Amino acid sequence: MASRPSRRAAALPLHSLQLAGAVPQVVTHRVMRMLTAGPQPSARDRAEFHRMGAEKLAAFVESWNAMGAQWMRWQMTMWLQWPTLFMGPWAELAAAGLSPVHRRAVANAKRLGGRRRR
């Protein structure tokens, strides 16, 4: 049974679309502001330019932290579930593949380790 995506994952297409609309608007505004500010930007322009850099850095750090935390949750889930996954159909597959090898190896051990012939 397939699991349902989380709310965050379900919102990914909508957030991607909103981001695709917002990014060009913000870039256009800030580039125009830089062009009109010229070589001597006002205090208001300098504050906006500083904010622009700080926001990018904060978003980058938050993004990496969120992805790292999600990765750790996923890994923990996988480590906690692997024994039950192994005991399901994978165990049947492994047993079917190991059975002929086991049968021959045990038979050979009995044959070769048994009484020596004279």
Helix spans in the chain (H) = 7-10, 12-37, 43-85, 91-113
Query: Which residue ranges make up each domain of the chain?
Result: 8-84
CB of 49 closer than 8 Å to CB of 41: yes
Q: Which two tokens stand for residue 88?
A: 């399901």
Mean pLDDT of the chain: 86
pLDDT digits (tens, 9 = 90+) for 75-86: 898 888 877 766
Task: Tell me the whole-structure pTM to 2 decimals.
Answer: 0.58
Residues of the chain with pLDDT under 70: 1-3, 85-86, 90, 115-118
